[in-house]
């Protein structure tokens, strides 16, 4: 029996680490494929938690949030006061973050002082500029962490940071007002026996639904890339559920919290706030990893093979993708995107992206905008009449550093010459990529 159990466990491990990554829509039913994709998303997110150092990033965001909390609330309440519903926003914040009553009360005292300074500073507008700068810096830090998860190298421009983030803060008070109105309506409906019978179970799930939608909105809006709603909802569902459960455990843990009060006294609010922020940001970042995994799960098909790809196959893909892009450019067609290349020619998406990134680095291709600014396409970087096979592989071979102390001019000159001549023995070395035989475009 022990042997059978051991064999069964080994089969499960092999399936989760190898076989499941080779399953596609042509080899299984749609229902099984959906289940396998959910499993693969969790496996991929779990792998990336350590690789992305999420705990360290959560600590960084905790520190940034603590420094920016008062300016953040000041901007929020300044906008709310402009519309005349600051009291509703305040009550909603206290209700939603029920476990942080003490910290919010302290923060509100500083908010009033910040707004007074901003409206009556020695230099007109200096206070407002400082508040905006602090808040935008925090949002930029959050975006940078989300972009890192999504493997996005370029963030928003300064102009887009200002416009996008300010739009977010204009929407936030409206969201809180709508949430308050919905809560009041549902609570009033409970007094009506017939309606209350149906509404009562719904009221209990409203905080969960709102939190899930809030996380989903963050996962769609904050990364500087195109995030599918279904992928954001996948991460938002589990992050929102985990956050609400964490809130319930945190609030109900009165004995645990009282120990902090006994040790730290009135100072206990600070370590408790830090703990709450740290775990909340960790949940948020894990949800972002789930969203990324859900949308990009196909990029990790054949993952083991991609990590151990042969030198010959790397060279083949470098030549293949370069030729496809050059030939599409020659006939005046719409430039290829990474997803189009992967889907059309059945190349694993991660392998396509890695190869395109390498070709971009060595100066063979450049990215160009498409109708969707967040999804780049690719065109040749130079005149296609100059891109020969020899030129392509010379650029590939020379990319990187060769500044080492190994004697290649005298002692190991013969070996170095053999390596240098490997590319030139091919009779097709001077062939232009646009002239290579290729039956599909």
Taking the chain (441 residues) in consecutive chunks of 10 residues, what is each chunk's mean pLDDT?
82 75 71 81 82 85 85 75 70 68 72 65 58 82 89 80 80 66 58 55 73 89 88 93 85 66 66 84 93 82 72 90 92 89 82 90 89 80 90 87 80 81 65 72 54
Residue extents of the structural domains in the chain: 2-50, 52-298, 303-435
* Burial class of residue 186, CB neighbours in 10 A (0-12, 13-18, 19+): middle
pLDDT number for residue 123: 44
The answer for 198, left when phi > 0, alpha when psi is -120 to 50, beta otherwise, is: alpha
Distance CA 418, CA 421 (A): 5
pLDDT number for residue 358: 92
Helix, strand, coil % in the chain, rounded to nearest 5: 75, 5, 20
What crossing angle do the helices spanning 311-330 and 338-345 adopt, rounded to 10°?
Answer: 110
Which tokens in the block code for residue 392?
A: 């392509």
pLDDT number for residue 124: 47
**Residue closest to 243 by CA, chosen among 204, 215, 216:** 215
Q: Which helix (H) or strand (E) holds 143?
A: helix 126-149
Distance of CA 41 to the CA centre of its chain: 14
pLDDT number for residue 233: 93
Distance CA 249, CA 230 (A): 29
Structural domain 303-435, CATH architecture: Orthogonal Bundle (1.10)
Distance CA 320, CA 335 (A): 15
The pTM of this model reads 0.73
Q: What are phi and psi of 377, to 5 degrees?
A: -115, 175
Distance CA 142, CA 129 (A): 20
Q: Tokens 């500044």 sit at which residue?
A: 403
Sign of the C-alpha dihedral, residues 248, 249, 254, 258? Answer: negative
């Amino acid at each position: 029996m022990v042997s059978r159990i051991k064999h069964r466990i080994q089969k499960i491990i092999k399936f989760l680490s190898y076989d499941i990554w080779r399953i596609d829509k042509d080899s299984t039913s749609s229902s099984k494929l959906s289940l396998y994709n959910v499993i693969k998303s969790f496996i991929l997110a779990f792998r990336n938690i350590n690789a992305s150092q999420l705990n360290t990033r959560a600590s960084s965001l905790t520190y940034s949030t603590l420094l920016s909390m008062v300016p953040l609330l000041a901007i929020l309440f300044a906008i709310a006061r402009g519309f005349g519903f600051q009291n509703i926003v305040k009550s909603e914040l206290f209700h939603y973050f029920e476990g942080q009553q003490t910290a919010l009360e302290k923060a509100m005292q500083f908010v009033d002082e910040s707004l007074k300074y901003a409206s009556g500073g020695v230099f007109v507008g200096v206070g407002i500029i400082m508040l905006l700068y602090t808040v935008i810096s925090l949002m930029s830090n959050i975006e940078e962490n989300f972009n890192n998860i999504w493997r996005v190298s370029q963030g928003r421009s300064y102009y887009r940071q200002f416009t996008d983030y300010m739009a977010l803060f204009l929407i936030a008070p409206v969201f809180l007002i709508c949430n308050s109105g919905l809560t009041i309506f549902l609570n009033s409906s409970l007094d009506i026996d017939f309606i209350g019978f149906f509404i009562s179970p719904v009221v209990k799930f409203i905080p969960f639904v709102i939190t899930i939608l809030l996380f989903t909105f963050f996962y769609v809006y904050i990364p500087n890339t195109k995030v599918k709603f279904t992928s954001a909802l996948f991460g938002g569902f589990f992050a929102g559920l985990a956050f609400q459960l964490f809130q319930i455990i945190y609030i109900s843990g009165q004995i645990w919290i009282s120990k902090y009060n006994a040790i730290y006294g009135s100072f206990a609010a600070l370590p408790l706030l830090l703990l709450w922020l740290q775990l909340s940001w960790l949940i948020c970042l894990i949800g972002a990893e789930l969203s990324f995994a859900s949308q990009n799960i196909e990029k990790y098909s054949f993952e083991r093979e991609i990590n151990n790809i042969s030198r010959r196959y790397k060279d083949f893909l470098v030549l293949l993708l370069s030729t496809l892009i050059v030939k599409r450019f020659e006939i005046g067609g719409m430039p290829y995107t990474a997803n189009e290349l992967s889907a059309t020619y059945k190349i694993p998406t991660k392998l396509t992206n890695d190869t395109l990134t390498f070709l971009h680095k060595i100066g063979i291709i450049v990215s160009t905008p498409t109708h969707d600014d967040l999804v780049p396409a690719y065109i040749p970087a130079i005149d296609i009449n100059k891109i020969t096979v020899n030129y392509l592989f010379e650029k590939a071979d020379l990319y990187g550093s060769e500044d080492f102390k190994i004697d290649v001019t005298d002692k190991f000159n013969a070996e170095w010459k053999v390596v240098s001549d490997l590319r030139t023995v091919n009779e097709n070395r001077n062939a232009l990529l646009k002239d290579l035989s290729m039956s599909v475009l």
